[in-house]
Amino acid sequence: MAALAEANSGQAQPYGADELTQKARAALAELFEHEVWVFPVSTGTAANALASSVMTPPYGAIFASQTAHIDTSECGAAEFYTGGAKIVLVQTDRGRILPDALSEALGKAGKGLAHRVQPAGLNITQASERGTVYSLNHLEQLTEIGKRHGLKIHMDGARFANAVAKLNCKPAETTWRIGVDVLSFGLTKNGAMGVEAVICFRQDLAEELRYRQRRAGQVYSKMRFASAQLLAYVKDGLWLRNAANANAMGLRLGQGLSHVPGVRLEEPIEINQVFLTMPEPVIAGMEKAGIGLGRRGDGHVRMVAAWSSTEAEIDRAIQAARAAAKGKAAA
Amino acid sequence: MAALAEANSGQAQPYGADELTQKARAALAELFEHEVWVFPVSTGTAANALASSVMTPPYGAIFASQTAHIDTSECGAAEFYTGGAKIVLVQTDRGRILPDALSEALGKAGKGLAHRVQPAGLNITQASERGTVYSLNHLEQLTEIGKRHGLKIHMDGARFANAVAKLNCKPAETTWRIGVDVLSFGLTKNGAMGVEAVICFRQDLAEELRYRQRRAGQVYSKMRFASAQLLAYVKDGLWLRNAANANAMGLRLGQGLSHVPGVRLEEPIEINQVFLTMPEPVIAGMEKAGIGLGRRGDGHVRMVAAWSSTEAEIDRAIQAARAAAKGKAAA
Amino acid sequence: MAALAEANSGQAQPYGADELTQKARAALAELFEHEVWVFPVSTGTAANALASSVMTPPYGAIFASQTAHIDTSECGAAEFYTGGAKIVLVQTDRGRILPDALSEALGKAGKGLAHRVQPAGLNITQASERGTVYSLNHLEQLTEIGKRHGLKIHMDGARFANAVAKLNCKPAETTWRIGVDVLSFGLTKNGAMGVEAVICFRQDLAEELRYRQRRAGQVYSKMRFASAQLLAYVKDGLWLRNAANANAMGLRLGQGLSHVPGVRLEEPIEINQVFLTMPEPVIAGMEKAGIGLGRRGDGHVRMVAAWSSTEAEIDRAIQAARAAAKGKAAA
Amino acid sequence: MAALAEANSGQAQPYGADELTQKARAALAELFEHEVWVFPVSTGTAANALASSVMTPPYGAIFASQTAHIDTSECGAAEFYTGGAKIVLVQTDRGRILPDALSEALGKAGKGLAHRVQPAGLNITQASERGTVYSLNHLEQLTEIGKRHGLKIHMDGARFANAVAKLNCKPAETTWRIGVDVLSFGLTKNGAMGVEAVICFRQDLAEELRYRQRRAGQVYSKMRFASAQLLAYVKDGLWLRNAANANAMGLRLGQGLSHVPGVRLEEPIEINQVFLTMPEPVIAGMEKAGIGLGRRGDGHVRMVAAWSSTEAEIDRAIQAARAAAKGKAAA
């Protein structure tokens, strides 16, 4: 907010020519230790779809996990932006693509056969939609296979900060150094007001992204407001502090809930997402107590600790679950 | 051929206004016992993709079998023609969609949720890509589920003739009477020179097909040549005689080969397609003998009896396999 | 800014379910005296392209002025969102479509002929790209012709506020009452930080817009920030006060500059846009003085008074032009 | 027909692997004195749209004449196949793009500006839609301008044979030697039964065309029938003899009609197309006599001499016009 208020005072050149935008780009280049081309957009879906659009021709295929957000939750945005490319799902374990399965899928993909869509892109979500984090070694296996088959590589980093915080690695290590061409750099889930960024590590793709971004109606005229958020986000490590807190709170939440009778953790907790199975009364009791949770049917629940969550808030949620489990909620 | 030569003599109005085209439409209406709108196209892929384009909006989903030709073998034509709709694969047994699996898939599809592609179409291949034929009862279960969820229904009938011959039913019984809206009516695999037809049973969809066909570059200027083939194809039941012969020859082929040592039928034979597993020497021996077969890797083979195959040709193929199995081929 | 800060405190439901979003919708319904469906997006291009996507099938045509923003300045976004519809340009006078020319273009459009793209939508920019405002009577002529030919009608209102302020009419009079189906409601050029809205007056189109907006990556997860801007914008008539000031300042600027030697007004001034021809030294002198102007080649210049411009700022710009004209700028 | 009958006897490999297809490609390479990649398709619209699809990215523009078939008569096929590129019309004289106008249009196109569609392709129809033929010098001017601006060049040769016959030049001189990358090679209007071909002179574009052709449903499974037509068409100069006859008959027709009272030639006659203005009674009289002509409103008429027209047929048409003009038709 403070960054926005500052951006609001004074005047500026429209469409990204302002000083803040230059600063944001420089800050990201420093952060990633690589030249970057930065394309701020309004949503994570836009970031993923724009990135996808430079991964593949319309007659190509993007390989992705069985839980990939671009497949399940973006209303076909990737198909729209790519002009009708196909998303091919690869066998996945807890949100992470299995390297052998990727090899097998590529082996059967029919490269060079005109009646088959042609392998073109690889989509990796880091951290994954199941709250897991790829190890650097796991990532390298995937990108190595992808590159060997000529795929461009897109990392969906809606929760990139949480992954980097968890791995305690440099951003470069989990992106361009292992072959990532384009990154969806998520901000909104980690504290920003409503901006995401496509970060591109290759000039040829960046050139194309310029036009595709505009054509998609994703070039802010008052770019400085987006840039101000980007700049504030990475300055002084704010993004990693936010993510580290969210991760810690996720762990606290998951561990706390796992001791509530009838509640079961579905996945080990690696970031701020917690996947649980709960008895209906516990779910209902928490909802009644005003605790936000995502019902996924049949007692499956997803909870997410925020970058701003406090221990007290988390403990209150756990307490609500305990109370509901004891049947006190109805009292 | 004779039909074409006749069409070639004399002159005619371009773009479908000629008499032959009117006759072909009338003949098909009589055959299907329903008003039809007929759109001749050059390939089966074009027929399927055109039909798909009126099944779904770009933000929709077409439900199809795990072996659906539109998914595996048309280089993304359905995605192209629909403007990027998604093909959702439903659990399949021997090429046929399982009704329960369809219900379940539709139940989880997220109708009304904006982040999900919206259920719009159902694609049924009759006969299936695995050489099986849906029973009328099985079909009705699928179309009833589809209609209940508001799906439009497209039948991919690249081998429609073989299915009708096998079921010994009326064309109406396996199409519009059970809710099929649009049919890809295959001719080429059953004797025509190179024409397929989209047959539409609904005027609203037909209106849209007119423009989409032209826009796809699929409206023949010399339509009479396509119409001549269509007319000759259905006249006097030629199409069903061709298909019945192909089915009989397929059965003869499959049964004959199944007794060759090391050869195993993968599917029961219902039409003219035969799926087999064979030892490599048998495959090689048959190829050497000039027998056409489609290798599918690891000893899997697909063979197809033609509408024009004779018992002698079939027996020669079986003989070649036997000889190869005995190691004589190399002699 | 104040509205944003307020939105920032507290928590809220994501994706538009929050209270602010409901309030914004209600406020707009009241303002337009009609039920409305509101789709906040990040840019004017997105608003126009989304609106265009429900005007026409892919094989349709949108009729627009020769200066239409959707044709000249959006990198083909309308073609992208519509799946490849065609924009047909109609003869235009000072940015406004001539009714007779529209009738003629529609008469020659080939409705019902399959080799022609089919007339589907009408795009009207109010105020126009040349800074002119359609009279209500002029608008009605256009929409009446459009409706008679079955066109859906989209108003590009990037400068809608300036037009309403100029006409001193009710928003309803220049939109749904005369047949406008969908409006791009511009905020950013009139004071907001970076939000535009598609305002839809028809439920059937709104239903489709929901999915297309998401598919385009234009659904903010933290919708409350967009809604807060919308709400603040229309509350207590702020939007019209801003526009009235911009218009007044535009008039002051144009009149002042028109007396500078060598400077010529290209269009009568109706809103806050001023189109001028200037000698190069005057242009250069103003630029040197830090006055923002848009060069359009060969001495053509566009200047825009802001919603926040003051008389002192305007007079400073005029003074700079005068000084440059007298050759003092170089001194 | 004879070529088809021959192709019909015997069996062949599907999808273009047969001997006839190889022969056709070799014959075309010899004809064009250049390596060629040949893609037979079913219609001229398909040929043009396929070719267009490798001229431009979706955010690009194809420059074309004001009478270009891809703009006026293909229901938006170019927009469909390109994924929504824009066709920019350039000032045209009698069907031919004016070089100066092309230069000017490209100069104003905004290359490098993200809000503008990017210049990508040039579409030249030879012979033009107005029956005129570009001189080699005129063509070279256009292609030189196009290449200087980085455009790929597509020649729409629906009447290519007529142009080559008129110019009495080698096919190479009017195609790749002056920079044409892809040619729509028209056969149907010049005697074939229903096949057109995209002829590509560049391997990189050919690679992409393979997939786009399949994705468009334009790959014949029984390719030999298309190839047989192609081969017969170019063998022994049949295509040029057909065209020369059509051109001569067009000239005879136009000259004859131009002496009929009230009839006026609109364009000098260069190939087999004749554009005329006629009194309504003459038009009606000719129609009554069974003479095919294309009404274009207000007395404008297009007539086309066929490759198979005879002097007697032409003279009969002229006679019918004369009779009608004398008022005998009604007698």
pLDDT 10s digits, A144-186 = 999 999 999 999 999 999 999 999 999 999 999 999 999 999 9
Are the beta carbons of A217 and C221 separated by less than 8 Å? no
Residue of A nearest to B80 (CA): A84
- B chain contacts of residue A116, beta-carbon cutoff 8 Å: 72-73, 75
Task: Specify whether the CB–CB gap between D226 and B195 falls below 8 A.
Answer: no
pLDDT bin (cut points 50, 70, 90) of residue D222 is confident
| Best residue in C221, C309, C316 for a mutation probing chain A (most A CBs within 10 Å) | C221
Spell out a b/e string for B182-208, using b for 16 or more CB atoms within 10 Å of the CB, else e: bbbbbbbbbbbbbbbbbbbbbeebbeb
Shortest CA gap A220–chain C (Å): 6
SS3 assignment, position D61? strand
Are the beta carbons of B86 and A73 separated by less than 8 Å? no
Chain D residues contacting B, CB < 8 Å?
Answer: 1, 4-5, 8, 41-50, 74-77, 80-81, 188-189, 193-194, 211, 214-222, 225-226
Q: Which alpha helices (DSSP H) does B152-237 contain, by range? A: 160-167, 203-215, 223-234
Angle between the N-to-C axes of helices A238-258 and A160-167, in degrees from 0 to 180, rounded to the nearest 10: 80
Weakest-pLDDT range from C81-90, C133-142, D183-192: D183-192
pLDDT at residue B175 in the model = 98
| Bridge partners, residue A124, by sequence | A155
- D chain contacts of residue B222, beta-carbon cutoff 8 Å: 188, 193-194
Weakest-pLDDT range from A266-270, B89-93, C102-106: A266-270
Task: Specify whether the CB–CB gap between A36 and A200 falls below 8 A.
Answer: yes
| DSSP string over D161-203 | HHHHHHHT--GGGGTGGGT--EEEE--GGGT-SS-EEEEE--H
Residue of A nearest to C220 (CA): A43
Share of chain D above pLDDT 90, in %: 84
Chain C residues contacting D, CB < 8 Å?
Answer: 58-59, 72-76, 79-80, 82-87, 114-117
Block residue for tokens 């029984």 = D222
pLDDT bin (cut points 50, 70, 90) of residue B330 is very low
pLDDT at residue C7 in the model = 52
Task: Specify whether the CB–CB gap between A127 and A305 falls below 8 A.
Answer: no
Shortest CA gap C87–chain D (Å): 9
- Encode pLDDT of D223-258 as tens digits: 788 888 899 999 889 999 999 999 999 999 999 999
SS3 assignment, position A177? helix
In this model, does residue C272 exceed pLDDT 60?
Answer: yes
- Encode pLDDT of A97-125 as tens digits: 999 999 999 999 999 999 999 999 999 99
| Bridge partners, residue A277, by sequence | A264, A300
In this model, does residue C309 exceed pLDDT 50?
Answer: yes
In this model, does residue B210 exceed pLDDT 60?
Answer: yes
Cα angle C78, C67, D69 (rounded to 5 degrees) comes to 65
pLDDT at residue A195 in the model = 87
Are the beta carbons of B214 and D75 separated by less than 8 Å? yes
Measured distance CA(B195)–CA(B186) in Å, rounded: 8
Half-sphere exposure of C173 toward its Cβ, with a 13 Å CA cutoff?
12
Block residue for tokens 């490590």 = A237
Share of chain A above pLDDT 90, in %: 85
In this model, does residue D193 exceed pLDDT 90?
Answer: no
| Best residue in C43, C79, C88 for a mutation probing chain D (most D CBs within 10 Å) | C79
In this model, does residue A209 exceed pLDDT 70?
Answer: yes
Mean pLDDT (chain C) is 92
In this model, does residue B192 exceed pLDDT 90?
Answer: no
pLDDT bin (cut points 50, 70, 90) of residue D20 is confident
Q: Look at phi and psi of residue B75 and say left if phi exceeds 0, alpha if psi is from -120 to 50, else beta.
A: left
Q: What is this structure's pTM? A: 0.94
| Best residue in C43, C70, C82, C86 for a mutation probing chain D (most D CBs within 10 Å) | C86
| Best residue in D69, D88, D115 for a mutation probing chain C (most C CBs within 10 Å) | D115
Nearest by CB to D79, from C72, C73, C79: name it: C79
Are the beta carbons of B58 and C215 separated by less than 8 Å? yes
Are the beta carbons of C194 and A220 separated by less than 8 Å? yes
- Beta-carbon contacts of B12 under 8 Å, excluding residues fewer than 6 positions away, are B18, B19, B20, B222, B224
Measured distance CA(C183)–CA(B277) in Å, rounded: 62
pLDDT at residue B8 in the model = 53
Residue of A nearest to B107 (CA): A297
pLDDT at residue B224 in the model = 81
- B chain contacts of residue D49, beta-carbon cutoff 8 Å: 217
Burial of B284 (0-12, 13-18, 19+ CB in 10 A): middle
- Encode pLDDT of D127-137 as tens digits: 999 999 999 99
- Encode pLDDT of D36-48 as tens digits: 999 999 999 999 9
Weakest-pLDDT range from C5-9, C312-316, D161-165, D271-275: C5-9
- Encode pLDDT of C243-261 as tens digits: 999 999 999 999 999 999 9
Q: Which alpha helices (DSSP H) does C149-222 contain, by range? A: 160-167, 203-215
In this model, does residue A227 exceed pLDDT 70?
Answer: yes
- Encode pLDDT of C17-45 as tens digits: 578 889 999 999 999 999 999 999 999 99
Measured distance CA(A241)–CA(A162) in Å, rounded: 10
- Provide the residue type at B313 as one letter: E
- A chain contacts of residue C220, beta-carbon cutoff 8 Å: 42-43, 194
SS3 assignment, position B4? helix
Q: Summarize the confidence of residues A288-309 as an average pLDDT.
A: 93
Measured distance CA(D318)–CA(D249) in Å, rounded: 12
Are the beta carbons of C58 and D75 separated by less than 8 Å? no
Q: Torsions phi, psi of A22, nearest 5?
A: -65, -45
pLDDT at residue C3 in the model = 56
Weakest-pLDDT range from B293-297, C91-95, C200-204, C300-304: B293-297
- Beta-carbon contacts of A100 under 8 Å, excluding residues fewer than 6 positions away, are none
pLDDT bin (cut points 50, 70, 90) of residue D189 is confident
pLDDT at residue A7 in the model = 52
Residue of A nearest to D221 (CA): A115
In this model, does residue C221 exceed pLDDT 90?
Answer: no
**Cβ pairs bridging A and D (under 8 Å):** 33
Block residue for tokens 């300036």 = C162
Calculate the alpha carbon distances from B120 to B63, B81, B96, B123 in Å.
8, 15, 19, 10
Q: Torsions phi, psi of B194, nearest 5?
A: 160, 60
- Encode pLDDT of C184-218 as tens digits: 999 988 877 778 999 999 999 999 999 999 999 99
pLDDT at residue D194 in the model = 78
Mean pLDDT (chain D) is 92
Are the beta carbons of B59 and A76 separated by less than 8 Å? yes
- B chain contacts of residue D21, beta-carbon cutoff 8 Å: none
Query: Which one is predicted more confidently, C267 or D89?
Result: D89
pLDDT at residue D10 in the model = 47
Measured distance CA(D50)–CA(D38) in Å, rounded: 12
pLDDT bin (cut points 50, 70, 90) of residue C2 is low
Burial of A241 (0-12, 13-18, 19+ CB in 10 A): middle
In this model, does residue B170 exceed pLDDT 60?
Answer: yes
Burial of B30 (0-12, 13-18, 19+ CB in 10 A): exposed
pLDDT at residue B66 in the model = 97
Nearest by CB to B114, from A75, A115, A116: name it: A75
In this model, does residue B14 exceed pLDDT 80?
Answer: no
Measured distance CA(B304)–CA(C253) in Å, rounded: 80
| Best residue in A75, A87, A198 for a mutation probing chain C (most C CBs within 10 Å) | A75
Q: Which of B308, B253, B255 is nearest to B286 (CA)?
A: B253
pLDDT at residue C10 in the model = 47
Kind plus residue range of the DSSP H or E element containing B300: strand B300-304
- Provide the residue type at C199 as one letter: I
Weakest-pLDDT range from A39-53, A55-69, B49-63, C220-234: C220-234
Q: Summarize the confidence of residues B44-71 as an average pLDDT.
A: 98
pLDDT at residue A331 in the model = 40
In this model, does residue B13 exceed pLDDT 90?
Answer: no
Q: Summarize the confidence of residues B195-209 as an average pLDDT.
A: 97
Are the beta carbons of B43 and D220 separated by less than 8 Å? yes
pLDDT at residue B46 in the model = 97
Share of chain D above pLDDT 70, in %: 94
Give the start-end residues of each E strand in chain C. 37-41, 60-65, 86-90, 92-93, 96-97, 118-125, 152-157, 182-185, 196-200, 264-265, 273-277, 294-295, 300-304
Q: What order do you get walking across the sheet with C60-65 strand by strand?
A: C37-41, C196-200, C182-185, C152-157, C118-125, C60-65, C86-90
Q: Torsions phi, psi of B105, nearest 5?
A: -60, -40
Share of chain A above pLDDT 70, in %: 94
pLDDT at residue A139 in the model = 98
In this model, does residue D329 exceed pLDDT 70?
Answer: no
Measured distance CA(C213)–CA(C16) in Å, rounded: 13
- Encode pLDDT of A13-32 as tens digits: 555 657 888 999 999 999 99
Q: Summarize the confidence of residues C4-10 as an average pLDDT.
A: 51
Binding partners of D (≥3 Cβ pairs within 8 A): A, B, C
- B chain contacts of residue A86, beta-carbon cutoff 8 Å: 76, 79, 87
In this model, does residue D182 exceed pLDDT 60?
Answer: yes
Spell out a b/e string for B36-59, using b for 16 or more CB atoms within 10 Å of the CB, else e: bbbbbbbbbbbbbbbbbbbbbbbb
Block residue for tokens 């468009």 = D216
Cα angle B124, B130, B134 (rounded to 5 degrees) comes to 45
Chain A residues contacting C, CB < 8 Å?
Answer: 1, 4-5, 8, 41-50, 74-77, 80-81, 188-189, 193-194, 211, 214-222, 225-226
Q: Summarize the confidence of residues B138-162 as an average pLDDT.
A: 98
Query: Which one is predicted more confidently, C23 or C224?
Result: C23
Cα angle D93, D96, D102 (rounded to 5 degrees) comes to 90
Measured distance CA(C134)–CA(C130) in Å, rounded: 11
Kind plus residue range of the DSSP H or E element containing B88: strand B86-90
pLDDT at residue A65 in the model = 98
Residue of C nearest to A44 (CA): C217
Chain D residues contacting C, CB < 8 Å?
Answer: 58-59, 72-76, 79-80, 82-87, 114-117
Measured distance CA(A64)–CA(A120) in Å, rounded: 11
Nearest by CB to C80, from D58, D76, D87: name it: D58
Residue of C nearest to A45 (CA): C217
Residue of B nearest to C112 (CA): B211
